[in-house]
Amino acid sequence: MNLFVAGHQLYSTLDLANAVQIIVEILLNFVGAGRFAILILDEPSGELHPIEAYGVDLSSVPVMRSDLEPLATCFRSGKPEVSDSVPGQWNVSEPLVCIPLKLGAEVLGAVTIYSYLEQKRELSPIDLELFSLLGDRGGAVLESARLFASSGVGPRTVQDYRNLLKSEGGHG
Q: Please indicate, yes or no, if residue 84 is contained in any of the structural domains.
A: yes
Q: Please indicate, yes or no, if residue 132 is contained in any of the structural domains.
A: yes
The total of other beta-carbon atoms located within 10 Å of residue 113's CB is: 28
In this prediction the pTM is: 0.84
Lowest mean pLDDT among 7-11, 77-81, 118-122: 7-11
User: In this structure, what CATH number is given to the domain that contains residue 91?
Assistant: 3.30.450.40
148 or 167, which is more confident: 148
| Residue 66 pLDDT exceeds 70 | yes
**8 A C-beta contact, residue 110 and residue 48:** yes
The span from the CA of 38 to the CA of 19, in Å, is 12
Lowest mean pLDDT among 8-17, 64-73, 137-146: 8-17
Tell me which DSSP letter residue 60 carries: G
pLDDT of residue 114: 92
User: Given pLDDT bands bounded at 50, 70 and 90, which one contains residue 172?
Assistant: very low
Mean pLDDT for 75-84 is 88
| Residue 85 pLDDT exceeds 70 | no
| Residue 171 pLDDT exceeds 60 | no
Phi and psi at residue 74, in whole multiples of 5°? -60, -45
Give me the chain's average pLDDT, please. 84
Q: Return contacts of 151-158, CB within 8 angstroms, 24+ apart.
A: none
How many domains does one find in the chain? 1
Q: Please indicate, yes or no, if residue 90 is contained in any of the structural domains.
A: yes
Tell me which DSSP letter residue 105 carries: T
Q: Please indicate, yes or no, if residue 69 is contained in any of the structural domains.
A: yes
Q: Please indicate, yes or no, if residue 172 is contained in any of the structural domains.
A: no
Range(s) of the domain holding residue 45:
2-167
